[in-house]
Structure formats: structure tokens, C-alpha cells
Amino acid sequence: MSFQTKFPPLKNDLLIRAAWGETLDKLPIWIMRQAGRYLPEFQEFRKKHTFFEICQNPELACEVTLMPIRRFELDAAIIFSDILVIPQALGMIVEMRPGVGPVLPEPLTLENFDKLTPEGAVQRLQYVGDAITLSRMRLEGKVPLFGFTGAPWTLMGYMVEGGGSKTMSKAKKWLYGHPELSHKLLSMLTDVIIDYLVMQIRSGAQIVQVFDSSAEYLNKDLYHEFGLPYLERILKQVRDEVTKSKLEQVPMVLFAKGAHFCFPEIVNLGYNVVGADWTMDPDVVNSIVENKNVTIQGNLDPCALYAPKEELTKKIKNMLNKFAGKRYIVNLGHGIYPDAPIESVQTFIDVVHNTKVHK
């Protein structure tokens, strides 16, 4: 069933238009990880509910999704969830340990690989779809709603390492030592991700982002073999499934953190929007995307938010000077940190909204 028609009409379509390729005189802005830990109201909320309780209860997830929208004039909302709900739906245990982050106490091994349960995984994630539908209603068309997923390689990393890692050496050991099994896993994840994104779009997501946050641990050869083909398949098959299901196409965003070594290839995949991380030089980004059919998103250093207001303002303006007037969505160059000062977020948004772009 399609819910797409019964939602309130979208009042602020700035970000969606930029994603599809318009160059605008007003810049859209959202912030990766905006619905989270740096918000005092979220920290209060977390005292009463566990992380996955919030994810799995549409009322609670919707409440957190709306928190940054109530506080700031952002041009998009993102559904409150996590990339690790997929490993969870595949039967793995995922714990959110305060001060540590995600822990998978029984990581994926060559021996327990066959215990993963891809059948029915997306049905088990229906709560994300329900949270999206509810959030879309409660947003009342104020701004568009992002759905999202982790990319296959990034999910594989967490599954094999049993959590975050400084090197991803266990997961890379699979790539070098067990390439066939790695492909089997990445392919299985890709299938689940495709169905998951289509489910999110069916549920009301108006734009979707693929987070390949661990791309930085790979290199050109590895990304060509274990990254790009799956990212390409996700784009193509989501598009095909959306058409087959008679849903409306939504813009698709790819953020591959630290993947300098393949930025031109990433730009050529065909995603509508490509994220530039905070380490990328805007001039280099611009030279790569010149005449390409793509919108750039990014790329202020999340740590720039620690700078005094004047310095921060200068940094934001420098960035806008480089990107404004092109296909562009303003964002940080990675997720916002838990100790980012709220006033700096306000400054970021104000500077962007007060910038008049000359096309």
C-alpha cells in the first residue's frame, strides 16, 4: 500500500529541489546526526528510555526526529534510528553502551555466518517505516523527511569487528583472506538494504541517504571491488523497485566518508547528491563535479563548531563562497559531535540562511 498521497503537502521543498539539481538563491541546510546527543532535550529523553526502545517505538522515535526541527530552522528532518538496526534484524545482538558506542558482543565469524537471518529482516524493521509514517504526518509538511541506511561495507565492518574499530583490520582480513565470503555477506546486506530503503520510501521518506562512514579504511582497489559495485546496485535496484511499486522517485544521497581515492567514481555512480567530508578541499570537489549531474552536500568540519562565533562565521562564509551558486546542500562534513555547542549550531544555520546567493 502506498501512503504517499495522504501526507500533508510539503511547504519547504528547498532541499528536495537542490537534491534534484536546481541551483537556488536560498541555501538548504541540515546537519548529519542532528537528531541526537548534542541536544539537551535528547539527553533528558535518554534518561527515561533506552536507545533501542526509542528506535523501536514510533511515538518516541518521532518525538526525537522532531526535536531539532522544533529548535532550529533546518530544511530537512532525519528519522531517528541507527545504521545498526540492520545487523539486529539479521539476528545479531547490538548494545549501545554509554560512553563506548555500539557493541556487538557476538561478532560475525566464519563459523556463525550461516546463522544470519536475511529472510524477513525488512519485515522486522517495519517499526522504522511506522516511525517514518508518523513523523511525516507530525511534520505537517514543514520540511522533508530523510530515511537512511548504512552502506554494505560499513555494516560489515561493525558486524565483523563487533563494534567500532580504529583499523577495521578484522573486517579487512575478511576482504583479503576470504573474498568470496565477503562478497556473499556484502551481497546479502545489499539485498536487505534495497528492500529496506524501498520500505522507507513507501512509508513516507522523501529523500534517503546511504552512510558509508567506514569507506576511509579502504583504498581504490578495495573500494572498486567491495564498495562501489554494491553502492551502484543499491541505487539502480531502489530506482527500479520504486518504479515497479508505482511510488514516486525520491532523491538518493551517498556519503562515503574519507573516500578521496574514489571520489570521481562516487560522483559517477549516479546518486543525486554526494557528500563531501570535512577533509576535502572545496576547490578539488568543485573541479571533480564540474559538469556532472550531481549536488554536493557538506562539508564544514564538525569541530569548527567549537570555534568562537566570529571565527566560525568566517569559516562558514568561506565554505559558502566556494559552493554557493552551484548544486549545493549545506551540511557538516561528518556527524555533529555530542559536545557541539548549541549556540554554534544556531550560528551555522543563521549564517547560511542570511546568505543571499547570486546565481
Q: Which of 67, 69, 74, 81 binds ligand 1CP (CB under 6 A)?
A: 81
Residue 78 lies near ligand 1CP (rule: CB under 6 A) = yes
* Shortest spacing between CB 265 and ligand 1CP, in angstroms: 20
Could you tell me which residues come within 8 angstroms of residue 90 by beta carbon, excluding any fewer than 6 positions away?
Answer: 116, 117, 118, 121, 159, 192
Residues 6+ apart with CB under 8 A from 214: 153, 154, 157, 158, 168, 257
Single residue of 46, 142, 172, 202 touching ligand 1CP by CB under 6 A: 46
Q: Are 254 and 210 in contact (CB under 8 A)?
A: yes
CB 291 within 8 A of CB 313: no
| 108/120 Cα distance (integer angstroms) | 19
Closest CA to 194 of 94, 256, 118, 112: 118
**Shortest Cβ 163–ligand 1CP spacing (Å):** 8
| Interacting residue with ligand 1CP among 213, 272, 297, 299 (CB under 6 A) | 213
Which are the contacts of 99, defined by CB distance < 8 A and separation ≥ 6?
A: none
Which one of 91, 118, 141, 164 is in contact with ligand 1CP (CB under 6 A)? 164
Stretch that binds ligand 1CP, among 98-106, 219-227, 228-236, 265-273 (CB under 6 A): 98-106
Q: Are 28 and 76 in contact (CB under 8 A)?
A: yes
> Under rule CB under 6 A, which residues in 221-260 are in contact with ligand 1CP?
none
Identify which of residues 191 and 212 has a Cβ nearer to ligand 1CP in the complex: 212
Q: Is 30 in the site for ligand 1CP (CB under 6 A)?
A: no
For the bound state, the minimum distance from the C-beta of residue 309 to ligand 1CP, rounded and expressed in Å, comes to: 24
Query: Should residue 315 be labelled a site residue for ligand 1CP when binding is judged by CB under 6 A?
Result: no
Cα-based distances in Å from 2 to 11, 202, 251: 21, 6, 18
Is residue 139 a contact point for ligand 1CP (CB under 6 A)? Answer: no
- In the complex, the smallest distance separating the C-beta of residue 84 from ligand 1CP, rounded to whole angstroms, is 6
In the complex, what is the shortest distance from the CB of residue 139 to ligand 1CP, in angstroms, rounded to a whole number?
15
What amino acid is encoded at 125 in this protein? L
